[in-house]
DNA sequence: CGACACCATAATGTATACAATATACACGTC
DNA sequence: GACGTGTATATTGTATACATTATGGTGTCG
């Protein structure tokens, strides 16, 4: 019974709501600084306010919305300052996860990454930004699984969702960025497959630093210094 | 009207609840792996389950409790693995915040840190662990304020509360640790006052790495490899 | 005696009703 | 005409009632 299974899977309403809203925010369908009232969200998804409140707490945790007590909730504004903060933190943390993933000796490691890289290239060939993103997120998930580091996973979850907003924005402005991003992800995965933790860490730090600087001018044009 | 003001300040029930529970967990009055039922907490603090649920979400965000869907919530278990994960992440993030705090040129910087260091020394002289902790947390707050980096602040908030649990445990096992911790905090603050970002970052990374290794054996004895 | 099914119970998850508060607009006063 | 006060309204915050589900015990059947 497929339906039952879907029912079963979708039992955690707050998490599901949060995921849907996340996607809307990341891909800009809900715009920056737009207000989200609990009732509107509740009505839109046909649930009561209770799970909506919990979903919004989850989004707040990941920095996608900001909340002012007794005033309301807005989609986080975007700014170059925020962008810089996110990438500044991503560099060492992504470096750490790459190192730990590289040091793992899980048997399916190579196979997982090979299919991932194939998916990334396919998405890029078809110029399908959404598919590229989904594959990229799956890549992070593979890193997490290999690294077996719950703390790092928790911290990065709260960074990558915000990072995706800026990445999507940059791709829209300048599609060439997706090519760079693909190359970076591919090279990082290859370094992880190699198994040299130190090298994987250093390379990841270097590449994220580079793409940060590359994206930076575009972000500055869009949002100003913030 | 002082009472009105207190009322005003304590309006955010979930945040207040979370703070109280945090303290209980950090200082071990609520023990590791103890179950927290919503109703118990609600009854204990004389509120309904709604704000309790939100408070528990906050604790979950900061890694102090773990939640299993439709099963319940428990105070996070402690283990050497967890301890290692936390310190591994703290090193670069505390390094970053030290750097940014050092690069800030806020006029009250020196004065703030001077009174902080005095408080730390006083607490240490009186052997008052609780006061020492409170001062230490205030130190982090000064760093945050100077660094003006909300993202970093958000990430560190979710690490330091957990770190405090382990630090408190270590102090109880071996009071000498508090002396080392005081020295480290003092030296970091002095480096930040100096204003050399690079040096402050490197020193912070080095000292946190050292105290991690120092605490490690004691943690191992208490919790096993985990 | 063991295993499986059923049911009681307790806890979480959701919906709804009520309370408190922030905002905007109108009215009156200076 | 400008400013302040009061009130209406919309929205968040809290309490409570109801629904769903995980768990442990009991009883029966093999």
Q: What is the pLDDT of residues A100-143, one digit of tens each?
A: 999 999 999 999 999 999 999 898 888 888 888 989 999 999 99
Which nucleotide lies closest to A15 by the C1' atom and the CA atom? C13
Tell me the average pLDDT across A40-50: 97
A184 and A85 within one domain: yes
Nucleic strand C near CB of residue B53 (< 7 Å): yes
Residue of A11, A79, A85, A212 to mutate, interface with B, max B Cβ within 10 Å? A85
Q: Where are the beta strands (DSSP E) in chain A?
A: 35-36, 65-68, 72-75
The radius of gyration of chain A from alpha carbons, rounded to an integer in Å, stands at 18
Give average pLDDT by consecutive 10-residue segment, chain B, 226 residues.
35 90 96 97 97 97 95 96 97 98 94 93 87 91 95 94 95 90 94 96 98 93 78
In this prediction, residue B6 carries a pLDDT of 34
Contact A206, A90 (CB under 8 A): no
In this prediction, residue B220 carries a pLDDT of 86
For residues A183 and A204, what is the distance between their CA atoms, to the nearest angstrom? 12
Sheet holding B35-36, edge to edge: B35-36, B72-75, B65-68
CA A149 from centroid of its chain's CA atoms: 17
A188 and A104 within one domain: yes
B145 and B101 within one domain: yes
Domain stops at, among A41, A75, A109:
A75
Give A197's pLDDT tier (boundaries 50, 70, 90).
very high
Length A60 CA → C16 C1' (Å): 25
B87 and B40 within one domain: no
Q: Which of residues 63-102 of A touch strand D (CB under 7 A)?
A: 67, 69-73
Domain stops at, among B32, B52, B75:
B75
In this prediction, residue A221 carries a pLDDT of 87
In this prediction, residue A11 carries a pLDDT of 58
Q: Which of residues 44-63 of B touch strand D (CB under 7 A)?
A: 47-51, 54
In this prediction, residue B129 carries a pLDDT of 86
A191 and A91 within one domain: yes
In this prediction, residue A184 carries a pLDDT of 94
In this prediction, residue A95 carries a pLDDT of 98
In this prediction, residue A220 carries a pLDDT of 86
A94 and A58 within one domain: no
Domain stops at, among A35, A57, A75:
A75
In this prediction, residue B3 carries a pLDDT of 31
Number of folded domains that form chain A = 2
A40 and A102 within one domain: no
Residue B66, domain CATH? 1.10.10.10
In this prediction, residue A204 carries a pLDDT of 98
A138 and A172 within one domain: yes
B101 and B126 within one domain: yes
Angstroms from A149 CA to nearest CA on chain B: 7
**Bases along strand D below 7 A from a protein CB:** 10-17, 20-23
Q: Which of residues 68-97 of A touch strand C (CB under 7 A)?
A: 70-71
Length B137 CA → C28 C1' (Å): 52
Chain B environment of A69 (Cβ under 8 Å):
11-12
- In SS3 terms, chain B reads as CHHHHHHHHCCCHHHHHHHHHHHHHHCCCCCCCCEECHHHHHHHHCCCHHHHHHHHHHHHHCCCEEEECCCEEEECCCCHHHHHHHHHHHHHHHHHHHHHHHHCCCCCHHHHHHHHHHHHHHHHHCCCHHHHHHHHHHHHHHHHHHHCCHHHHHHHHHHHHHHHHHHHHHHHHCCHHHHHHHHHHHHHHHHHHHCCHHHHHHHHHHHHHHHHHHHHHHHHHHHCCC
B114 and B45 within one domain: no
Residue B214, domain CATH? 1.20.120.530
Angstroms from B86 CA to nearest CA on chain A: 6
Return the number of other C-beta atoms located less than 10 Å from residue B175's C-beta: 11
Find, among A162, A171, A176, the residue nearest to A93 by Cα: A162
Give A152's pLDDT tier (boundaries 50, 70, 90).
very high
B114 and B193 within one domain: yes
B198 and B87 within one domain: yes
Angstroms from B164 CA to nearest CA on chain A: 15
- Segments forming the whole domain that contains residue A20: 2-75
């Amino acid at each position: 019974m497929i339906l039952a299974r879907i029912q079963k899977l979708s039992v955690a309403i707050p998490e599901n709501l949060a995921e849907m809203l996340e996607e809307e925010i990341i891909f800009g369908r809900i715009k920056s600084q737009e207000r989200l009232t609990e009732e509107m969200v509740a009505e839109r998804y046909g649930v009561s306010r209770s799970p909506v409140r919990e979903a919004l707490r989850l989004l707040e945790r990941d920095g996608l919305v900001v909340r002012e007590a007794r005033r309301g909730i807005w989609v986080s504004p975007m700014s170059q300052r925020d962008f810089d903060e996110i990438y500044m933190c991503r560099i060492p943390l992504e470096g750490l996860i790459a190192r730990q993933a590289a040091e793992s000796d899980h048997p399916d490691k190579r196979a997982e990454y090979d299919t991932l890289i194939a998916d990334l290239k396919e998405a890029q060939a078809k110029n399908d930004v959404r598919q590229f993103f989904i594959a990229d997120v799956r890549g992070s998930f593979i890193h997490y699984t290999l690294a077996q580091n719950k703390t790092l996973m928790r911290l990065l979850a709260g960074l990558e969702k915000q990072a995706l907003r800026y990445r999507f924005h940059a791709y829209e402005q300048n599609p060439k960025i997706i090519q760079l991003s693909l190359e970076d992800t591919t090279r990082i995965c290859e370094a992880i497959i190699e198994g040299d933790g130190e090298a994987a860490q250093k390379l990841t730090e270097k590449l994220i630093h580079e793409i940060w600087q590359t994206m930076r001018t575009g972000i500055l044009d869009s949002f100003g210094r913030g």
